[in-house]
Amino acid sequence: MMLLIKFKEQEMTAQIHSVPQEAAKHESVGPAGRTVYIIGGAAALLIVLTALAEILITFLPGGYAVINTVTDWFALLQANPFLGLRNLGLLNILMTAMGIPLTFSLYWAHRKSNPALVSLALIVVLIGDAIFYATNRAFPMLDLSLRYAVAAPAQRAALEAAGQALLAVGQSHTPGTFLAFFFSEVGGIFMALVLLRGKLFSRAAACAGLVAYGFLAVFEVLSSFVPAWHDAILVLAMIGGLANIAWYLSVAFRLFQPGLADRVGK
């Protein structure tokens, strides 16, 4: 009889301890967890729309113009501020901002199944974002161009020197912006590996991410440090860009599915 009572007590104790564990295991099923996924999915779709706008702008007059001098940049920013800002990374500013809630939603989905790698991916991506915002010079260049337009001839040399210093840091696909893009792409590779090892997203989505960020990382290295190859390696950027769109669409589709929150933690 005593053994039976002890057995019952142990069984009840185990059940009591298992309740909070089960609750924690499925805590993402609530409205807060679903909201994180919906915001992340919406951010992914907005990134795709912005990327498509970037492609369309490239085919507009001046969309792919090669600008070599500071005075040419000033002239472009004065004549067409939007196109000048776009050529200095305006749309990248928007896509980077939208990538933050997307990355967080993927972190949230995998924070229990693969906490180490997904945390590393989140940290690396955020480091890349921070470097990007710290080094982007689009709006400072716009300010200099407006001042240059009304400056006296004696002041223009100083403004040109200031503009050249800004371009040395903030012009895309140069050594000045290499760390920002490279950290973001390495973080994307880590996140794709998280999806590949997990069971919440399809293998196709994970492979699209690996191809996208792998090709873009190679392109970034070569375009930053071997600029003579820029035209030859554009095919890498094209493959990476198309795979990146596939990554965003497939991830967004899964984040919008109601069943995702129910599978988190299982």
- Of 259, 262, 260, 251, the closest CA to residue 46 belongs to 251
Residue whose token pair is 């809630």: 101
How many domains would you assign to the chain? 1
| CA dist list (Å): 209 to 62, 108, 140, 204, 252 | 31, 18, 33, 9, 13
Q: What is the pLDDT of residue 75?
A: 93
| 51 falls within a domain | yes
Mean pLDDT of 225-233: 87
Residue whose token pair is 């161009």: 145
| 43 falls within a domain | yes
| 158 falls within a domain | yes
Contact call for residues 247 and 209 (beta carbons, < 8 A):
yes
Contact call for residues 181 and 132 (beta carbons, < 8 A):
yes
Measured distance CA(125)–CA(213) in Å, rounded: 12
| 18 falls within a domain | no
Mean pLDDT of 18-32: 45
- Any residues with CB less than 8 A from the CB of 193 and at least 6 apart, and which? 117, 121, 206, 210
Structural domain containing residue 237: 31-263
Q: What is the pLDDT of residue 266?
A: 54
| 95 falls within a domain | yes
| 195 falls within a domain | yes
| 103 falls within a domain | yes
Structure tokens at 98: 């939208």
Report pLDDT digits (tens) over 172-181: 788 888 999 9
User: Regarding predicted confidence, which is higher, 265 or 179?
Assistant: 179
Measured distance CA(84)–CA(57) in Å, rounded: 12
| 20 falls within a domain | no
Q: What is the pLDDT of residue 227?
A: 85
What pTM, to 2 d.p., does this model score?
0.83
Report pLDDT digits (tens) over 127-145: 999 999 999 989 999 999 9
